[in-house]
Amino acid sequence: MLKIRLIQRILSMSKKTKTAFVCDQCGADYPRWNGQCASCGEWNTIKEIRLAPAALEKHPPSSGYAGNHSEVKRLSDVNLSQAERISSGISEFDRVLGGGIVRGSVVLIGGAPGAGKSTLLLQAIANIAARDISVLYVSGEESLQQIAERANRLKLPADKIFMLAETSVERICDVLNDIAPQMLVIDSIQVMYAPHCESAAGSVSQVRESASYLTQYAKQHNVSIFMVGHVTKDHSLAGPMTLSHIVDTQVMLASTDDARYRVLRADKNRFGSVGELGFFAMDGAGLKEVKNPSAMFLNRAETPSSGSVVTVLWEGTRPLLVEIQALVTDCQYGNPRRLAVGLDQNRLAMLLAVLSRHGGLSTASDEIYANVVGGIRVSETSSDLAIVACIVSSLRNKVVSQEAFFFGELGLNGEIRPVANGHARLNDAAKHGFKKAVIPKANAPKNVIPGLTIYGVTTLMEMLDILFEI
Ligand code: TYD
Ligand code: MG
């Protein structure tokens, strides 16, 4: 008798669905319910949810499931052709994805509403569908009429794109089982809901569950998925941030200072390099690729002014010319302000300290504003030399030659260190008509670059000596 009861209990245990306790506010999960979320500090936000694998029993993996790891293999025996890529037909988009869309991968496209996520995806899948690759566009936000009108206005071929207006992930997977597309667009993941998850639609745990449900489906059936995720201005919805560990690739579409331009950036990429940038211009006919982004960021004023210097950044796999500006003014009262836009505040403070100690120029009583023109964020140290140069230019109120550009890292002892990809940076600047390069001596090329005079410097002092002489 006891034995039978034990067997019954074991059986009922194995049927029990797995649950998790997830915070609606920040997406943190816990083994049991708590009144307060230890991660974000909110009260009463932890909800019990059923986990996706139980629901996925409804959609068993197809026979050719690539992710079946139960068999031990030699690394050399793994079939490499599984990392097949599909081109989106938009080279800037492919570049950010690491050379096209990997079959069975999940890509999250984040951005503020109106950034152009839906437009970009519609243009990409129109190109893909035109090559007879089946795609399904699931819209939970806009009506099918609205999307059809947009496709019509953008003159995209619409006969090969399948559309579905649906917000339930289970129902979407049912449809996927029927029509078996190779690519799926979910616009947007915030409006999707997983029926097995009890929290309110749009909550973080719903978004997370929906995303992991679709991701499992994608992996098991080798479907590539694009998910659209909105980021609100104040980042109040943690959606895309909690999603980043579920997806393979996360790209962000953002506006630049000039409202026409958009920058696509890879924040996470399992199949390519992060930090890669793609540039687009939004006009009446949708998003157009910008083939020469340096020109887009180098709209310099006609009359040269002090406090403006050009540098060559390295963004992902290519150089990018940007202008850096500085304004140094007397501080009338209180503590002088140090404001950096597009630059790291701490880096600026460090450069000012080096300038004071090794360049003999103290700015302790000045207010300093530094800005990267165009809304680009500089994250590498190669802009150090340019930042210092434009601060000195503003401090002295003297113009730096418009034909000059600067790159190089500044060490704490006032030494100028070489940076990676020096030659490619020089070539790009020369191509854009710059004639004078102030760079680390170690980056000076062995062969002459036509039209370019190289000023190789090893210390901050050497740079300051030639700053207004070139
Ligand atoms: P959309 O793709 O709907 O943005 P998202 O999906 O990221 O919310 O793009 C919306 C903006 O783009 C909207 O402000 C209008 C503008 N737009 C154009 O300027 N030209 C166009 O051809 C299209 C389709 C949109
Ligand atoms: Mg949209």
pLDDT in tens, 382-410: 999 999 999 999 999 999 999 999 999 99
Spatial contact of 238 and 83, defined as CB atoms under 8 Å apart = no
284 lines ligand 1 (CB under 6 A): yes
Would the pLDDT of 240 be above 70? no
Residue 439 pairs in a beta bridge with 456
Q: How far apart, in Å, do the first and last CA atoms of the chain sit?
A: 97
What would the mean pLDDT of 221-248 be, rounded to a whole number? 75
Q: How far is the CA of 285 from the centre of ligand 1 (A)?
A: 10
What is the C-alpha R_g of the chain? Answer: 27
Task: State whether the Cα torsion 371-432-460-398 is positive or negative.
Answer: negative
Q: What is the pLDDT of residue 246?
A: 87
Average pLDDT, the chain: 86
Q: How far is the CA of 266 from the centre of ligand 1 (A)?
A: 20
372 lines ligand 1 (CB under 6 A): no
pLDDT in tens, 142-178: 999 999 999 999 999 888 899 999 999 999 999 999 9
Nearest residue (by CA) to ligand 1, atom 15, is 114
Task: State whether the Cα torsion 132-81-173-242 is positive or negative.
Answer: negative
Q: How far is the CA of 163 from the centre of ligand 2 (A)?
A: 15
Out of 3-7, 78-82, 215-219, 386-390, least confident range: 3-7
41 lines ligand 1 (CB under 6 A): no
Q: What is the pLDDT of residue 241?
A: 58
Among residues of the chain, what percentage have pLDDT more than 90?
Answer: 51
Which position has the higher pLDDT, 31 or 384? 384
Q: What is the DSSP letter of 387?
A: H
pLDDT in tens, 428-454: 999 888 999 999 999 999 999 999 999
Nearest residue (by CA) to ligand 1, atom 12, is 116
DSSP letters for 406-463: E--EE-TTSBEEP-TTHHHHHHHHHHTT--EEEEEGGG--SSPPTT-EEEEESBHHHH
116 lines ligand 1 (CB under 6 A): yes
**188 preceded by cis ω (within 30°)?**
yes
Ligand nearest to the CA of 112: 1
Among residues of the chain, what percentage have pLDDT more than 70?
Answer: 88
Out of 26-40, 64-78, 364-378, least confident range: 64-78
Which position has the higher pLDDT, 103 or 12? 103
121 lines ligand 1 (CB under 6 A): no
Which position has the higher pLDDT, 152 or 10? 152
Query: Which of 196-200, 253-257, 329-333, 402-406 has the highest average model confidence (pLDDT)?
Result: 402-406
Would the pLDDT of 234 be above 60? no
Nearest residue (by CA) to ligand 1, atom 1, is 116
Would the pLDDT of 424 be above 70? yes
Q: What is the pLDDT of residue 413?
A: 96
Q: State the closest ligand 1 atom to the C-alpha of 117, by its place in the atom list counted from 1.
A: 7
d(CA 113, CA 206): 20
Q: Which of 255, 282, 283, 288 to mutate to test the pocket of ligand 1 (most atoms within 8 A of CB)?
A: 282
Q: What is the pLDDT of residue 82?
A: 55
Q: What is the pLDDT of residue 53?
A: 52
Q: How far is the CA of 324 from the centre of ligand 1 (A)?
A: 30
Range 280-299 burial, b when 16+ CB lie within 10 A, else e: bebeeebbbebeebbebbbe
Q: What is the pLDDT of residue 243?
A: 81
Q: How far is the CA of 175 from the centre of ligand 1 (A)?
A: 28
150 lines ligand 1 (CB under 6 A): yes
State the helix-helix crossing angle for 384-396 and 345-358, rounded to 10 degrees.
60
All residues with CB under 5 Å from ion ligand 2: 118
> Taking the mean position of all CA atoms in its chain, how far away is CA 101?
15
229 lines ligand 1 (CB under 6 A): no
Q: How far is the CA of 277 from the centre of ligand 1 (A)?
A: 20
Q: In the structure, what pLDDT confidence band is assigned to residue 126 with cuts at 50, 70 and 90?
A: very high
Nearest residue (by CA) to ligand 1, atom 2, is 116
Spatial contact of 111 and 119, defined as CB atoms under 8 Å apart = no
Ligand nearest to the CA of 285: 1
Nearest residue (by CA) to ligand 1, atom 21, is 286
What would the mean pLDDT of 361-374 be, rounded to a whole number? 92
DSSP letters for 59-103: SPPPTT-TT---S---GGGS-GGGG-EE--S-HHHHHHHTSSEET
d(CA 176, CA 180): 5
Q: What is the pLDDT of residue 237?
A: 46
Q: What is the pLDDT of residue 233?
A: 60
151 lines ligand 1 (CB under 6 A): no
Closest Cα to residue 175, out of 144, 148, 147, 137? 137
Q: What is the pLDDT of residue 63?
A: 43
Burial class of residue 42 in the structure, from the number of CB atoms within 10 Å of its CB (0-12 exposed, 13-18 middle, 19+ buried) = middle
Question: In the structure encoding, which two tokens stand for residue 55, read together?
Answer: 């629901």
Q: What is the pLDDT of residue 65?
A: 46
d(CA 45, CA 427): 55
Q: How far is the CA of 242 from the centre of ligand 2 (A)?
A: 20
Q: How far is the CA of 187 from the centre of ligand 2 (A)?
A: 7
The H or E element spanning position 281 is strand 277-283
> Taking the mean position of all CA atoms in its chain, how far away is CA 452?
34
Spatial contact of 359 and 464, defined as CB atoms under 8 Å apart = yes
Ligand nearest to the CA of 117: 1
Question: In the structure encoding, which two tokens stand for residue 126, read together?
Answer: 């129109």
What would the mean pLDDT of 232-246 be, rounded to a whole number? 62
Q: What is the DSSP letter of 405?
A: E
118 lines ligand 1 (CB under 6 A): yes
Q: What is the pLDDT of residue 83?
A: 66
50 lines ligand 1 (CB under 6 A): no
The single-letter code of the amino acid at 356 is S
Q: What is the pLDDT of residue 66?
A: 45
Instruction: Please write down the HEC assignment for all residues of 99-162.
Output: CCEECCCEEEEEECCCCCHHHHHHHHHHHHHHCCCCEEEEECCCCHHHHHHHHHHCCCCCCCEE
Classified as helix, coil or strand, 439 is strand
pLDDT in tens, 51-105: 655 445 555 544 444 445 567 888 888 776 656 889 999 999 999 999 999 989 9
pLDDT in tens, 264-292: 988 889 988 887 889 999 988 889 998 88
Q: How far is the CA of 148 from the centre of ligand 1 (A)?
A: 14
114 lines ligand 1 (CB under 6 A): yes
Q: What is the pLDDT of residue 150?
A: 92
180 lines ligand 1 (CB under 6 A): no
Would the pLDDT of 245 be above 90? no
Q: How far is the CA of 139 from the centre of ligand 2 (A)?
A: 9
286 lines ligand 1 (CB under 6 A): yes
